[in-house]
Homo-oligomer: A and B are copies of this chain.
């Protein structure tokens, strides 16, 4: 069987599967599962094209890895075929641990279990299954491989993961603000002392990349309606879990039921295959199919929340720079109590506050280094004659207040 396939990708034209080993990983049910996990969760409620999946993103990031290694080799840096395959596998699997609607789930169903740790855990399982052939990929993923730039291509301020998701999210949402010149940036990649650097000529493309990321945050990732959709889902799962804990019967696929009926601690999750096996059966469809069925559940709170999602009648979300006025929150909550006949505790499902944040460029963690023509290295925030990059290096925290539209 010929495993050197090419795959049509509207973003890059074609993506080639570079080797039989990579083909086999893509064919693995754990990876095929990513076909059913949307990259942007609820974002399609605002941008109806944003249905692209983590499967597609992982392939895209893999494609960029091929381009980047070709550029680096062209500049005389040695990347052996084995290292190429390892880096390819590492980026292909970097998101393998994502569950459905990760942001919502990590606050509800699998509380406190980070998807990065699950990715690592899955890579180790696959390494066993493939007879140790993922050793180098794991070393790169963990940052334990001598050629640090291979790790930086996968995880740094300017990694190929971000480059693909900005490209892909812009493309499928239709928000041209996120368009970046990924091909120019990659062509400007270089390596100095085993570290990834960007040549001086690429400085404007890097600036643009940082700005694009910032704009995508506010225009897409933290769009009010997207936040509203995620918040509804968090509350639905919280309610369902508390009903399940109380012994209520709830329609759910076996995998979803597994996590509804019990609280799995981090330690338990990573203690064997028991929980992982169920987790790897979960995708967006389990969640949403249950939400649809729960619309008819006798619990008034659960059914109301579920209807909010299926009928796209979401929370109204206010985003501001200061803590919402507690009196206003109290008043809204009272309205909800009266209108929907709820207890104070129950009203917390409908009226609540939270904090969201956006840190576009974090100077401390894995800087973007610019290689000047005189061969010295300088941080992008210093290389630019624009003060904006310093301001990007600031966490912007915003406060949100959510409540039903009709109160």
Q: Which residue of the partner chain, among B51, B53, B219, B386, contacts A214 with CB atoms under 8 Å? A: B386
Q: Does A204 contact B (CB under 8 A)?
A: yes
Q: Does A184 contact B (CB under 8 A)?
A: yes
Complex CA distance for A215 and B207, rounded to whole angstroms = 9
Q: Does A29 contact B (CB under 8 A)?
A: yes
If A179-B179, A214-B386, A286-B289 touch, whether A49 touches B10 (CB-CB below 8 Å) is yes
- The chain B residue sitting closest to A174, CB to CB, is B10
State how many residues of chain A have any CB contact under 8 Å with chain B.
75
Q: Is the CB of A292 within 8 A of B253?
A: yes
Q: Mark A154-189, 1 if CB is under 8 A from B, else 0.
A: 000000000000000001111111011101100100
What's the least CB distance linking A72 to chain B, in Å? 14
What's the least CB distance linking A103 to chain B, in Å? 20
Which stretch of A107-115, A121-129, A258-266, A388-396 is in the interface? A388-396
Q: Which residue of the partner chain, among B49, B312, B390, contacts A9 with CB atoms under 8 Å? A: B49
What's the least CB distance linking A395 to chain B, in Å? 12
What's the least CB distance linking A291 to chain B, in Å? 9
What's the least CB distance linking A47 to chain B, in Å? 5
Q: Does A81 contact B (CB under 8 A)?
A: no
If A55-B48, A214-B386 touch, whether A9 touches B311 (CB-CB below 8 Å) is no
Q: Does A56 contact B (CB under 8 A)?
A: yes
Q: Is the CB of B53 within 8 A of A48?
A: yes
Q: Is the CB of A7 within 8 A of B48?
A: yes
- The chain B residue sitting closest to A218, CB to CB, is B204
What's the least CB distance linking A82 to chain B, in Å? 19
Q: Mark A272-306, 1 if CB is under 8 A from B, else 0.
A: 00000000010111101100110010000000000
If A36-B288, A391-B388 touch, whether A51 touches B52 (CB-CB below 8 Å) is yes
Chain B residues with CB under 8 Å of A59's CB are: 48
Q: Does A205 contact B (CB under 8 A)?
A: yes
If A253-B251, A253-B292, A289-B286 touch, whether A176 touches B173 (CB-CB below 8 Å) is no
Q: Is the CB of A13 within 8 A of B387?
A: no
Complex CA distance for A374 and B48, rounded to whole angstroms = 29
Q: Is the CB of B219 within 8 A of A215?
A: no
Chain B residues with CB under 8 Å of A343's CB are: none
What's the least CB distance linking A121 to chain B, in Å? 21
Chain B residues with CB under 8 Å of A284's CB are: 285
Q: Does A310 contact B (CB under 8 A)?
A: yes
Q: Does A330 contact B (CB under 8 A)?
A: no
Given contacts A32-B310, A51-B52, A253-B289, 20 further A-B contacts (CB under 8 A): A8-B47, A10-B49, A10-B172, A10-B173, A10-B174, A11-B174, A13-B183, A49-B52, A175-B181, A176-B179, A177-B204, A204-B219, A208-B215, A211-B388, A251-B254, A254-B293, A385-B396, A387-B387, A387-B391, A388-B388
